[in-house]
């Protein structure tokens, strides 16, 4: 009898655990900490080791907090708190991400590395829109609707624990690759970030214009 109860409990627990693992992998794919390692290292390359650690700590914590807020509030926070839609967020996030990518490909001076901007560097652009952009926010809202608030928070904890481990060691990992290869990889990834930004803008623009084009045939029929 006890064995049957334990087996039933294990089976019941396996469902939520499977959901959390699956959705953690999905959120991690959107956050893309491995692919963004050269970007993390490049944006913090002029900081001292301790400052770099503080910046990455704040960036990961801010990203985690953003995901938790949107897992709890979801569409309500966009509509009532920020008064924006996911479509508008995609366009705005895409523009910001494109600016970051452009500065990374063609750096001029020190756009993010002034001593007064360390906290801002952690929040923008590392936390938003690189770690958590419109894509991650959208995935968070949709996933929360599917698995609920509690499991989504567990999903965020697992995801950002992994992100934290990678981000804190970004410079060490890129040092293993080598300075020249690291610089080249970072520049190439900035180009892919620019492409991702353009995709966000086009996606948001198409969603924004879709109602106008869908209503166009009705308007033509009304005229006729």
pLDDT above 50 for 87 = yes
Non-local (6+) Cβ contacts of 186 within 8 A are 38, 39, 41, 42, 104, 174
Answer yes or no: is 193 within a domain.
yes
Residue linked to tokens 């508008």: 88
Answer yes or no: is 12 within a domain.
no
Answer yes or no: is 14 within a domain.
no
How many domains is the chain partitioned into structurally?
1
What's the pLDDT tens digit per position in 174-200?
A: 888 776 776 777 777 778 878 888 888
> Domain of 58?
20-206
Answer yes or no: is 159 within a domain.
yes
The more confident residue out of 179 and 202 is 202
Give the C-alpha separation, 121 to 59, whole Å: 8
Angle, helix 134-147 to helix 49-72, in steps of 10 degrees:
50
Q: Which of 13-22, 26-35, 80-89 has the highest mean pLDDT?
A: 26-35
Give the C-alpha separation, 41 to 218, whole Å: 53
Alpha helices (runs of H) in the chain, residue ranges in sequence order? 2-31, 37-43, 49-72, 75-76, 86-105, 118-121, 134-147, 149-168, 170-177, 179-223
């Amino acid at each position: 009898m006890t064995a049957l109860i334990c087996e039933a409990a294990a089976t019941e627990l396996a469902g939520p655990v499977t959901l959390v693992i699956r959705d953690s992998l999905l959120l991690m794919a959107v956050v893309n900490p491995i692919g963004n390692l050269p970007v993390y290292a490049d944006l913090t390359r002029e900081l001292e080791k301790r400052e770099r650690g503080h910046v990455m700590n704040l960036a990961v914590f801010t990203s985690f907090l953003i995901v938790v807020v949107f897992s709890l509030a979801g569409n309500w926070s966009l509509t009532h708190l920020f008064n924006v839609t996911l479509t508008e967020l995609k366009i705005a996030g895409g523009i910001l991400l494109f600016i970051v990518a452009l500065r990374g490909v063609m750096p001029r001076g020190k756009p993010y590395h002034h001593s007064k901007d360390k906290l801002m560097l952690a929040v923008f652009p590392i936390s938003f829109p690189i770690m958590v952009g419109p894509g991650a926010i959208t995935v968070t809202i949709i996933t929360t609707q599917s698995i609920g608030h509690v499991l989504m928070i567990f999903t965020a904890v697992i995801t950002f624990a992994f992100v934290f481990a990678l981000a804190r060691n970004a410079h060490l990992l890129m040092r293993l690759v080598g300075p020249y290869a690291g610089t080249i990889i970072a520049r190439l990834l900035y180009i892919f970030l620019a492409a991702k930004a353009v995709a966000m803008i086009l996606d948001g623009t198409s969603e924004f214009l879709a109602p106008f084009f869908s209503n166009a045939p009705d308007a033509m029929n009304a005229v006729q």
